[in-house]
Chain A
């Protein structure tokens, strides 16, 4: 038994080391070159964005106000959703903010926007205006925007090598890079829409764009970057994720293809509005099916980490085998565990026990597996909730 426990504890240490789970992230790293590179490019992007906003605010203030408010709510909802799907070896929130800011400012204003303008103009000069209108965006943005966003992950890995360890980390950070890009791009689109009626009826002119971008946004930049960055981690390899070049290249190519198809939908569909709507829905469905598949394949390693971290707790009877399976399982496994109780109060308690067990896992990760006061307290919380004793606190 002792030997087994020792092995389980060693497996926990290895999992915590490989996953980087619970490690703190310091943004200010003056000896890290990537930190300065990040600051420079994000700084340029912020200057570009703020100068555009300041220039256009007096003319399109109403539309800007609506767009900023709407997309702030959108961003908050997405943040909640990401927390909801990431039950496992969580990344520091600070790192997600750093990813978001890269996508919003560096990838847009300091990189992709300039390249898009130049490539579209070159296409028009080489192949004609009609061709550029039909296919220009679809053959420019997948290269410029996906790489501008994805390159941010290279800097994030250099800035947080102890935290960014798996393809799932790339997936989550990529989603936040995409969210930042999406929101800033959407605000820019809203400003452009506000000017389409010569500055009159700004709200009416931009609200359609805002709604369309919100609805389609989930299957656009957020999704593309999540897949792309998962692919980048596979391509590079990380301590918690062995290098898989083929899979990496495939996951990098897929969002580029999806992005190209999305930007070319109007040309592929032709003048038929019905065909356009059909293609739009089909593209969203295909993109969502792919991202779910990528999520399922990348999250497996994180689930294994949770199992390794919590297995000693099960061996020490802090949690049950069913609770361990639920914690390291998918949504269905957690639901099955919660629904196993016959009474409503039992089902409710099962949910709280699971939440307390996840909190214990986070404490164990932060303590690097040590028996600290916080860990011991988290254990007593699991026992208290299971026993149905009210909290003293």
Chain B
């Protein structure tokens, strides 16, 4: 019988035996699984469940009430503003004067009233309103690939209360109808999208048209 002390005292010619990486000791098996791996995995599952299921459910359950009052004006990046309809709910976007600490307003704002939704988005654009509408249509087609909401019909002109001329076109979808309007203030493009249930009628609601008409750019943004 060899002396164990001697056996380890000089480098062996063959590596010491180590069980295969997939081997599980008999006393650590639970229904064929390595029981030592169950607790950490369950901990990670619990974290994933909280992040991907629990938090979104809590968010969906918490109501949001930020109702537009008469006289409210929403402001976006680049000094773009519009007057939302009183009684609609602001789901994103900031009122003019409520500037974040960074000094930058966000690039989008959305107001909703039941199934009706009005979103204004702004960004740099070099071209006129018709070119912007073409760009919006091209991007929308590429994103939707002919499915879902589509821009339909011929574009028509629209003039805001500020006198800014834009272009507008209808949008239709399986259960949605609405209108898209595009304006370009210098090199700043503005896209307004209003959608609602398709059974609400083909013509845009007066409230939507009023919001589109109110789109303008403040002096600060122009500078």
Q: Is B41 an interface residue when CB atoms closer than 8 A count as contact?
A: yes
Decide if B12 touches A371 in the complex (CB within 8 Å): yes
Q: Is B66 an interface residue when CB atoms closer than 8 A count as contact?
A: yes
Task: Point out the residues of chain B lying under 8 angstroms from A24, CB to CB.
Answer: 21
Task: Point out the residues of chain A lying under 8 angstroms from B71, CB to CB.
Answer: none
Q: Is A218 an interface residue when CB atoms closer than 8 A count as contact?
A: no
Q: Is A117 an interface residue when CB atoms closer than 8 A count as contact?
A: yes
Residues from 48 to 106 in B contacting A, C-beta threshold 8 Å: 48, 50-52, 55-56, 58-59, 62-64, 66, 90, 92-94, 98-104, 106
Decide if A29 touches B22 in the complex (CB within 8 Å): yes
Q: Is A266 an interface residue when CB atoms closer than 8 A count as contact?
A: yes
Residues from 149 to 206 in B contacting A, C-beta threshold 8 Å: 189, 191
B residues contacting the other copy or chain, number (CB 8 A):
68
Q: Mark contacts of A335-352 with chain B using CB atoms, 8 A cut-off: 1 yes-contact digit, 0 otherwise.
A: 000000000000000000
Q: What are 13 of the A-B contact pairs (CB < 8 Å)? A: A28-B22, A31-B33, A33-B38, A34-B44, A37-B45, A56-B143, A114-B55, A129-B94, A129-B98, A195-B139, A198-B132, A370-B14, A370-B16
Q: Is B207 an interface residue when CB atoms closer than 8 A count as contact?
A: no
In whole angstroms, how far apart are the Cα atoms of A157 and B21 in the complex? 13
Which of A2, A34, A111 interacts with B48 by CB under 8 Å?
A: A111
Q: Is A158 an interface residue when CB atoms closer than 8 A count as contact?
A: yes
In whole angstroms, how far apart are the Cα atoms of A239 and B42 in the complex? 22
With contacts A266-B101, A369-B11 taken as known, whether A199 is within 8 angstroms of B62 at the C-beta atoms is: no
Task: Give the interface of B toward A (CB within 8 A).
Answer: 5, 8-16, 18, 20-22, 24, 29, 32-34, 36-38, 40-41, 43-45, 47-48, 50-52, 55-56, 58-59, 62-64, 66, 90, 92-94, 98-104, 106-107, 123-127, 132, 135-136, 138-139, 142-143, 145, 189, 191
Q: Is A10 an interface residue when CB atoms closer than 8 A count as contact?
A: yes
Q: Is A293 an interface residue when CB atoms closer than 8 A count as contact?
A: no
In whole angstroms, how far apart are the Cα atoms of A25 and B14 in the complex? 20
In whole angstroms, how far apart are the Cα atoms of A119 and B98 in the complex? 22
